[in-house]
């Protein structure tokens, strides 16, 4: 009997540990406390004398309150916070803060499930130069400017922690240009911003009351993150080998997608039946030309029209609805095509899943580290493309866990964006916010 009770107790403990979310903190003085930050060479700000700031016990800090108040769900993995730290490498009195910058310390956060970045306060107070928005090809000098440094930080975080939930906590009473820049850059990397309000402070730092308010606002935000919408889309089908496998994964995960089909494959009942199964699952069928030629090289208007019209007619006949979108084969398009074709042109975010040398793990990593709100994911259900099928088994549940909602391309425009783009605009879309 005792052994049975012990076994059940240990089972309960293991289940609790497994179900807890491991949280790491990347912060500045607001998140420090002597003896409770790592590495221990980081400089703390808390505790101070009681007459300077009334936060005198680690249990009164916002991050300990957050963890302790929700200990059935959260556990602290690591707190890498450093007093005076800046996101850029520009510190007070124009000092080089590279050693304590967020970019440097982001490498050392353990193995968390969730990361809370609480920063930019010192960048605002120290008057860090803003610089221009820059989302790639950063130089050493760029990271002494706030905007490129912030972008580099989030890009690095998304690469280092591709499957973790990352949030940015934005302090109250910062400069408007800091606030606006953070929101713009976080949106580019699909990082939710938790904007704090009415934080009580003593000596410029949260008091006990302020710490409680931060913990409450952070918890409220991470429990109610707004959904992010994306659309899966597949080219070069239908077929009876790979397309059914893709549909199986979609059905098992309860999601839909858009299929950009080639008309030449709608020449037999078996392929048509596969396409009709997609429609029955709530997927939509769009136009990817009849023959999959390099249509951007065409100069013959009649040939362009034939490639589109034949495929649209077959889709309407067998799927029951005219297509509204067109993806040019090889994304090769021309002014003439935009002039002639009465469909919205779609590209999508590509993950090289047509390349047999790009295996399932590479595809998983590419998707999870780059996808953002409003994206159209460009994938292929061409015959034999099993690596994409395997990748879907991982990325769909993982992206759902991160708060992404899967919709079709038409839904992405009509219901999320709120409008269909005009045709003949010359624009080709990869994200509805383009």
DSSP letter string, 358-391: S-HHHHHHHHHHH--TTBEEEEE--TT-HHHHHH
CA atoms within 13 A on the CB side of 274: 23
Name, in order, each residue with C-beta under 8 angstroms of 43's C-beta and a sequence gap of 6 or more.
32, 82, 83, 84, 100
pLDDT attached to residue 225: 61
Using one digit for the tens of pLDDT, what is the confidence trace for 67-88? Answer: 999 998 899 999 999 999 999 9
| pLDDT score at 373 | 86
- Tokens representing 139? 């130089």
pLDDT of 7 above 50:
no
What lies within 8 Å, CB to CB, of 267 at 6+ separation is none
State pLDDT tens for residues 83-110. Answer: 999 999 999 999 999 999 999 999 999 9
| Size (the chain), residues | 434
Mean pLDDT of the chain: 93
Query: Which residues are identified as catalytic?
Result: 235, 380
d(CA 406, CA 402): 12
pLDDT > 90: percent of the chain: 88
What's the rounded Cα separation, in Å, for the pair 246 and 278?
10
pLDDT at 6 over 50: no
As given in the structure block, the two tokens for residue 289 are 């030309």
10-223 falls under which CATH superfamily? SGNH hydrolase (3.40.50.1110)
Q: Residue 222: pLDDT band by 50, 70, 90 thresholds? A: confident
What residue segments make up the domains of the chain, in order of their start? 10-223, 228-429
Conformational region of residue 403, where left means phi above 0, alpha means psi within -120 to 50, and beta covers everything else: left
pLDDT, tens digit (0-9, with 9 covering 90-100), for 294-322: 999 999 999 999 999 999 999 999 999 99
Q: Which fold has domain 228-429?
A: TIM Barrel (3.20.20)
Question: Over 70: is that where the pLDDT of 3 sits?
Answer: no
Which residue would you say has higher pLDDT here, 7 or 232? 232
- Phi and psi at 310, nearest 5°, equal -60, -45
Tell whether pTM > 0.75.
Answer: no
Query: pLDDT tens digits, residue range 152-204?
Result: 999 999 999 987 889 999 999 999 999 999 999 999 998 999 999 999 999 99
What is the spatial distance between Cα 29 and Cα 82, in angstroms, rounded to a whole number? Answer: 6
Residues sharing a CB contact under 8 Å with residue 403, sequence separation 6 or more, in sequence order: 165, 225, 226, 227, 228
pLDDT of residue 434: 76
State pLDDT tens for residues 41-56.
Answer: 999 999 999 999 999 9
Q: What does the pLDDT look like over 277-288, one tens digit per residue? A: 999 999 999 999
The conformational region for residue 348 under phi > 0 = left, psi -120 to 50 = alpha, else beta, is left
pLDDT of residue 73: 87
| 3-state secondary structure at position 152 | helix
The pLDDT, as a whole number, for residue 15 is 35
Q: Provide the pLDDT for residue 226.
A: 63
* Contact between residue 62 and residue 218 where contact means Cβ atoms under 8 Å apart: yes
Nearest to 249 by CA among 24, 406, 43: 406
The answer to whether 61 and 68 have CB atoms below 8 angstroms apart is no
pLDDT over 70, % of the chain: 95
Report how far apart, in Å, the C-alpha atoms of 129 and of each of 89, 94, 353, 432 are: 10, 10, 41, 32
DSSP state letters, 236-264: EE--SSSHHHHHHHHHHHT---EEEE-GG
């Amino acid at each position: 009997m005792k052994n049975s009770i012990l076994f059940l107790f240990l089972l309960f403990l293991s289940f609790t540990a497994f179900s807890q979310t491991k949280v790491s903190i990347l912060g500045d003085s607001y998140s420090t406390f002597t003896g409770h930050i790592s590495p221990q060479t980081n400089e703390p700000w808390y505790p101070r004398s009681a007459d300077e700031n009334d936060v005198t016990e680690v249990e009164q800090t916002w991050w300990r309150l957050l963890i302790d108040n929700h200990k059935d769900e959260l556990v602290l993995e690591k707190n890498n916070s450093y007093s005076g730290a800046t996101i850029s490498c520009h510190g007070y009195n124009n000092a080089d803060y590279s050693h304590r910058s967020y970019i440097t310390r982001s490498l050392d956060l353990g193995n968390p499930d969730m990361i809370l970045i609480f920063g930019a306060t010192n960048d605002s107070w120290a008057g860090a130069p803003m610089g221009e928005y820059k989302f790639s090809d950063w130089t050493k000098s760029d990271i002494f400017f706030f905007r490129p440094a912030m972008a580099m930080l989030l890009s690095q975080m998304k690469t280092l922690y591709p499957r973790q939930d990352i949030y940015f906590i934005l302090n109250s009473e910062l400069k408007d240009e800091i606030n606006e820049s953070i929101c713009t850059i976080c949106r580019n990397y699909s990082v939710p911003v938790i904007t704090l309000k009415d934080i009580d402070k003593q000596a410029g730092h949260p008091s006990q009351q302020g710490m409680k308010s931060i913990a409450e606002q952070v918890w409220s935000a991470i429990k109610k993150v707004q959904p992010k919408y994306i659309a899966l889309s597949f080219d070069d089908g239908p077929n009876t080998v790979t397309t059914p496998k893709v549909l199986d994964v979609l059905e098992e995960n309860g999601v839909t997608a858009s299929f950009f089909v080639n008309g030449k494959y709608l020449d037999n009942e078996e392929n048509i039946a596969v396409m009709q199964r997609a429609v029955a699952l709530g997927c939509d069928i769009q136009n990817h030309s009849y023959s999959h030629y390099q249509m951007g090289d065409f100069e013959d208007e009649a040939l362009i029209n034939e490639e589109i019209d034949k495929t649209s007619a077959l889709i309407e006949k067998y799927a029951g609805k005219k297509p509204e979108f067109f993806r040019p084969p090889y994304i090769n398009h021309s002014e003439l095509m935009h002039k002639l074709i009465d469909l919205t042109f779609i590209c999508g975010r590509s993950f090289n899943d047509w390349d047999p040398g790009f295996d399932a793990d590479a595809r998983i990593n590419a998707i999870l580290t780059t996808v953002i709100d409003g994206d159209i994911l460009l994938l292929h259900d061409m015959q034999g493309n099993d690596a994409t099928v395997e990748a879907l088994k991982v990325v769909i549940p993982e992206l759902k866990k991160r708060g992404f909602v899967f919709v079709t391309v038409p839904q992405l425009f009509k219901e999320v964006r709120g409008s269909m783009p005009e045709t003949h605009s010359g624009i080709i879309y990869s994200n509805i916010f383009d």
